[in-house]
Amino acid sequence: MAELIPNTNTLNIQENEANEVISASTPSDMQLLKFTNGGVDQIFNQNLEDTKEIPAENFPLADSEMTSIVEGHSEPPLSSEKSKETQFLVKLHLPKSTRIEELQDQIKSEDSDNDQTISVYHESSESDKYEDEDDISDEGDLGVDDGEISVYKSRLRKWALARRRLRDAQNSTKITKENELDIIASEIFLPHPKYEDAIIDNTLEIPGEIYHKLFNYQKLGVEWFWKRHKSNEGGILGDEMGLGKTIQMIAFLASLFYSNRSQQATIIICPATLMFQWVKEIHNWWPPIRVGVLHSTGSAVSSHSEEDGGAAKLVKTFTKKGPGHVIITTYESVKKFRGLLLSCFWEYVVLDEGHKIRNPDAEVTLTVKEFKSTHRIILSGTPIQNNYRELWSLMDFVAPGKFGTLPVFEEHLANKVIVGGYRHANEYEVQTAYYCARIMADFVEPYLLRRTKAETAVQRPKQTDQVLFCKLTPHQRKLYQDFLKEREMKEFVTNNRKLPKPEK
């Protein structure tokens, strides 16, 4: 756990709940992998004292790579005792003047380079225009990312000025065209007027408007990300579906941005169906982060006649001028824009539904492992689905080389665990498998954080049902109305005619 500074003026996580979450997610001597035919099946309880220790000389460690694995497996787990002392120091801090000037210059310079602006809702024809606000469907909202600077400026302006009005209730500061840009840039790094910020290790500042919305286990998730960040290593957030992996990732990226600790842009790789969900959530949780979509549906790419030209401009803008900002793309687009993306250095490479790289020989797996980045994160509710090859593939992404090569890993660890699970395995094979499982469990533990719904149920609200009505788009509505106007349809409605039976 990260060292958290105690102070009389603190926001305290409820100690018992925090301790339960950490303890449940930390492997112990009593929780080891069960040996079954074919691999990992479930967790079982077995006391280490009940099994004879295998002499070290009986365990083959000929390869130097394997020696480094065994030596490196003993990193201590997150201390459950530390979680009892978990406290977040509230700190009122000053704006980051240097970063403010950079943001001002970025907006000014990029704005001067762009003569074209982009409409929030794309109107392809006169018949597609929305007549009123009620006609705006969710489909329209999802089409807006910040590939064009005008969209980003518009959203950031609304957020910053609303925040300033809340802060300056007496309206003592008059907002003019001349000082508007200064107000917008400085507001990003000011604490929220209502909610206090939280800070970890006197370094990472979590915006108050984000912190107060997080459940305790999500706050611990942000802290875990920070621990991985300080170690200059990656990790796998394997929380069950529905526990807010996306929110925890956004909260951490927002904290890096807000703390002025972002050095480069971040790239998030996800299935195509989730791209604009990420855009929506980032806009909702921390509007100062600029989000660009590297895909044919993204505003910066679709607005250029040459798709590759728009992609190159988007990546250049975000990597050269946008520390802390985010590019979102798909696994297929990674292969398509491979050369462009691999030529840049990224602060974070985040794989949503990261189990998609479970095949170590797949093209997309080999491509993402070539990304230049210090920090690599996988988000997956099912990080290990079938066998140990998948475990190695994921671990080799977040911690390159730590598990050795795949042949070494299989020979010295995976195969021995599998053999020890066979019904006819002798005592030596069972003990060897147990020893290998201990090595794997101890090694993986610092890189994997997984909580279940059962463990976090006490912190989550009761389930609520929300009914959403999907309205027709203007084009769909026009087609429907034209169909109703057809002669046969009118006769059917007015004369109660039966529909003709289909011909056989």
Task: Give the SS3 label for residue 49.
Answer: helix
> What is the rounded distance in angstroms from the CA atom of residue 248 to the CA atom of residue 213?
11
Mean pLDDT to the nearest integer, 106-120: 47
Closest by alpha carbon to 377, among 350, 403, 404, 342? 350
pLDDT of residue 371: 95
Record the pTM.
0.68
- Residue 98: alpha-carbon gap to chain centroid: 28
How is residue 72 written in tokens?
A: 């490196």
Mean pLDDT to the nearest integer, 432-460: 88
The residue ranking higher by pLDDT, 271 or 2, is 271
* Matching residue, tokens 């909610």: 195
How is residue 431 written in tokens?
A: 């003990």
pLDDT of residue 26: 36
pLDDT of residue 366: 94
In the chain, count H helices and then E strands.
23, 13
Report the greatest alpha carbon distance in the chain: 92
Q: Which range has the worst mean pLDDT, 231-240, 263-272, 315-324, 495-504?
A: 495-504
pLDDT of residue 496: 66
| Cβ within 8 Å of residue 45, ≥6 positions away | 30, 31
> What is the rounded distance in angstroms from the CA atom of residue 416 to the CA atom of residue 410?
8
Task: Give the SS3 label for residue 153.
Answer: helix
* Matching residue, tokens 């463990």: 455
Sheet with 10-12: strands ordered across: 10-12, 87-89, 198-200, 204-206
pLDDT of residue 168: 77
> What is the rounded distance in angstroms from the CA atom of residue 115 to the CA atom of residue 277?
29
CA angle 282, 256, 98 (to 5 degrees): 110
Contact status, residue 164 vs residue 183, Cβ threshold 8 Å: yes
Cα→Cα distances 98→102, 104, 105, 259, 349, Å: 6, 10, 11, 12, 26
Highest mean pLDDT among 121-135, 193-207, 460-474: 193-207
- Residue 93: alpha-carbon gap to chain centroid: 27
> What is the rounded distance in angstroms from the CA atom of residue 336 to the CA atom of residue 269?
13
359, pLDDT greater than 60:
yes
Cα→Cα distances 245→150, 250, 337, 423, Å: 30, 9, 27, 39
How is residue 223 written in tokens?
A: 């802290």
The amino acid at 157: R
The residue ranking higher by pLDDT, 173 or 8, is 173
The residue ranking higher by pLDDT, 317 or 1, is 317
The residue ranking higher by pLDDT, 51 or 424, is 424
Contact status, residue 149 vs residue 111, Cβ threshold 8 Å: yes
Contact status, residue 18 vs residue 216, Cβ threshold 8 Å: yes
- Grade residue 97 by pLDDT with cuts at 50, 70 and 90: low
pLDDT of residue 401: 87
Model pLDDT for residues 189-225, shown as the tens digit of each residue: 888 888 999 999 988 999 999 999 999 999 999 999 9
330, pLDDT greater than 60:
yes
120, pLDDT greater than 70:
no
Q: Which range has the worst mean pLDDT, 120-129, 167-176, 384-393?
A: 120-129
CA atoms within 13 A on the CB side of 89: 15
- Grade residue 110 by pLDDT with cuts at 50, 70 and 90: low
How is residue 227 written in tokens?
A: 């621990």
